[in-house]
């Protein structure tokens, strides 16, 4: 049971990282759209 723990943690970290990247992309895209709208 202990041997599987690191793998699970790594998988969760990878998923969390992907979600964070997607969220950052969304915020960045929104910010770019706001800049375009102002110009």
CA dist., res. 38 & res. 34, Å (int)? 6
pTM of the model: 0.54
Q: With the C-alpha atoms ordered 18, 23, 29, 35, is the resulting torsion angle positive or negative?
A: negative
Given a cut of 90, whether residue 13 has pLDDT beyond it is: no
Given a cut of 90, whether residue 21 has pLDDT beyond it is: yes
Instruction: Show the CA angle centred on residue 28, arms to residues 24 and 31, nearest 5°.
Output: 140
CA dist., res. 36 & res. 11, Å (int)? 38
| Tokens, residue 34 | 């706001």
What is the predicted pLDDT for the residue at 36? 84
């Amino acid at each position: 049971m202990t041997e599987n723990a690191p793998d699970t943690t790594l998988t969760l970290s990878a998923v969390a990282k992907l979600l964070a990247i997607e969220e950052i992309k969304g915020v960045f895209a929104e910010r770019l759209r706001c800049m375009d709208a102002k110009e």
